[in-house]
Structure formats: C-alpha cells, structure tokens
Amino acid sequence: MKTCFFRALTVCAAAFFAVAASAQEDFSKVEIRTEKLADTVYMMTGSGGNLGVSVGEDAVFVIDDQFAPLTPKILAAIAKLTSKPVKFVLNTHWHFDHTGGNENLGKAGAIIVAHENVRKRLSTEGFIEFLGMKTKPEPKIALPIATFTRDVTFHLNGDELVVTHVPRAHTDGDSIVEFKKSNVVHMGDTFFNKLYPFIDSSSGGTVAGVLAAVDGVLKTAGDGTKIIPGHGPLGSKADLKAYRDMLAAVSGNIRGQIRAGKTLEQVIASKPTAKYDEVWGKGFLPPEKFVEMLYGNLKK
C-alpha cells in the first residue's frame, strides 16, 4: 500500500510540474522587474530563469530569455535602459524557461551563444525524465550560432564578461558568467536561491557537478559580489555558501542511506531535509520531490 502511494505521488507530481512548467500562468499578468547591480549590469525577473543584462556603449548583451510570450515585455524593459537592440544572447543551459525567447530574438538579429551541448540538445528531441516531459527540436533560428567547449570572453561595455562551462552540473551544458569589473556573477541554474534546486539527471546533471560549480564561484567571489541565481532573489556570497551547505548536507545524508540499502520510501520517510524546509522548501520542488530527485541522481 505504501509503495503504491509513493508511486502515485510521483506520477501525479511529475505531471503537475510538467504542466506548470510548460503552460505557466497567464503570461499577460507577468511583470518584468529590473534591478540595477552595477553601472552597466542589470538583473531582470519575470517568469522563468532570471536574466542578466549588460547595457553600454558597445552593445546589449542578455543572459537567458525566459519564455517566448515574454519577449515583447523583456524588450520593453530593455528599451527603458537603452535604444540599442539586443546584439548577443547567452544561454546558460538548454531548458525552455531560459531559452524560450531564442527564436524571437534570433529573428530580430541577435547572435545566440552557448556551450556546444546546448545547441545539441536544442536541435534534437529531448526528454526531461524526472518531469516526464518531452521537448521538440527548436527551429534553426533559435539555435546558438556560436558555441564553445570550455570558455569564452566578451569585451563589452567597459567590462570583461568571462563565460565558463561547468561540466555535469545542473545539465551537461551549463555556463557561469562573471562580470569582472562590475563584480557580478550569473550562475544560471547551478544556483537556486532560497529554493530546492532541480538537477536534470537525464541531461547529464549531477550533484557533484553542482557542488563543484558552486565551489568555483565561492573561491573567487567576495563579500560584495552580487550573484544572480537561475531562480530566486539576488544572492550574495553568504547566500551561495548557505546553498552549498544545504545541498552538501542533504545529498550526503541521502548518499549514506543509499549505501545502507534504504529504499526511496524509507529515505523520504526519514525527512533528510527537515531542518532546511522552512527556508528552501516552498519553491518548485517540495521537500519530498527534492529528496526523490537526489535519490535518483545519487543512485545512478
């Protein structure tokens, strides 16, 4: 009976998340909010992954582009900052809540850039196993036309934007963008601030890779560094450290139980996230689904 219950919970929750992620709420009600982080750097939030925007004398550089219906609103928000068109779009990874605007911006003339695995995944049919969600190949105009394998640097708007691939983290195509002069870092979905993170095992994501990506930023970030997460509010080094500690502690607990031969139902029943749920457990993944995701990822 208990096993059947958990199976039913898993199926229902996966279906719910798939519908919620693809359909979303009424996009006409979404508001794009802009927060200035430095002289030329802004964070924009709406529905989907958080955007990073560099605006200056050279060009408009945008990190991620949320969902296609939001492109007009995003462009209107950028138009309040500059009259220049978007010249570059950098995708931090392939998921549709970060790349949904690619087609619109590509048609408008933007140069889309990403790690080579992002282009590979966007150009073929995909399947996000944990959500039970299939994705269709994107049209050519929505694909990155410039790809890299390890890193690439943009010298724009009086700043140095260093884009670094972090392997097998949230997916197999994640990139972190550091604005050297502005002391801002955009981490994409390698950082969920005040939310339990989703790690896409079926796209090559691993807990170890996320922790390694976070450790890399923690080594170079200072107390004044502003860190844009893929989801959640603007973060600091202290916020990133808290995220790292939470993920390491919960995944370590679950890994130990897996080694001891515990079933998924037993691990969920042990409530390994209990001390973190008040802060982290009210987002996309509730505690039980977060534990299930980690269990599946760590057992592979």
Q: Answer whether 258's CB lies under 8 Å from 299's CB.
A: yes
Q: Per-residue pLDDT for 167 more than 70?
A: yes
Query: In angstroms, rounded to a whole number, what is the distance separating the alpha carbons of residues 275 and 285?
Result: 16
pTM here is: 0.92
| Residue 25 confidence (pLDDT) | 64
Give the range of the structural domain holding residue 146, as residue numbers without chain letter.
2-299
Q: How confident is the model at residue 1 (pLDDT cuts 50, 70, 90)?
A: very low
| pLDDT tens column, 214-227 | 999 999 999 999 99
User: For 127-159, how does the pLDDT look when each residue is reduced to its tens digit (9 = 90+)?
Assistant: 999 999 999 999 999 999 999 999 999 999 999
CA nearest neighbour of 98 among 136, 138, 65, 146: 65
Query: Residue 244 and residue 276: Cα distance in Å, rounded?
Result: 12
Strand order in the sheet with 60-63: 33-36, 41-45, 51-55, 60-63, 86-90, 111-115, 146-148
For residue 227, give the CATH number of its domain: 3.60.15.10
Provide the token pair at 20: 């919620």
pLDDT surpasses 60 at 13: no
Residue 20 has pLDDT above 80, yes or no: no
Q: Give pLDDT tens digits for 197-215.
A: 999 999 999 999 999 999 9
Q: 231-281, pLDDT tens digit by residue?
A: 999 999 999 999 999 999 999 999 999 999 999 999 999 999 999 999 999
Amino acid 300: pLDDT: 86
Q: Is the per-residue pLDDT at 82 higher than 90?
A: yes
Residues 184-195 pLDDT 10s: 999 999 999 999
Question: Of 183, 238, 247, which Cα lies nearest the Cα of 212?
Answer: 247
Number of domain units in the chain: 1
Alpha-carbon separation of residue 137 from 96, 121, 129, 280 (angstroms): 11, 8, 16, 33
Would the pLDDT of 68 be above 50?
A: yes
Pairwise pLDDT comparison (17 vs 52), residue with the higher score: 52
Q: Compute the average pLDDT of residues 61-90.
A: 98
Digit-coded pLDDT (tens) for 91-117 = 999 999 999 999 999 999 999 999 999
Q: What is the DSSP string of the chain?
A: -HHHHHHHHHHHHHHHHHHHHHH-S-GGG---EEEE-SSSEEEEESSSSPEEEEESSS-EEEE----GGGHHHHHHHHHTT-SSPEEEEE-SSS-HHHHTTHHHHHHTTPEEEEEHHHHHHHTS-EEEGGGTEEEPPPPGGGS-SEEESSEEEEEETTEEEEEEE-TTSSSSS-EEEEETTTTEEE-GGG-BTTSPPP--GGGT--HHHHHHHHHHHHHH--TT-EEE-SBSS-B-HHHHHHHHHHHHHHHHHHHHHHHTT--HHHHHHT-TTGGGHHHHTTSSS-HHHHHHHHHHHHH-
Has residue 17 got a pLDDT over 60? no
- pLDDT tens, residue by residue, 49-63: 999 999 999 999 999
**Bridge partners (DSSP) listed for residue 156:** 159
Mean pLDDT on 31-60: 98
In contact, 22 and 124? CB cutoff 8 Å: no
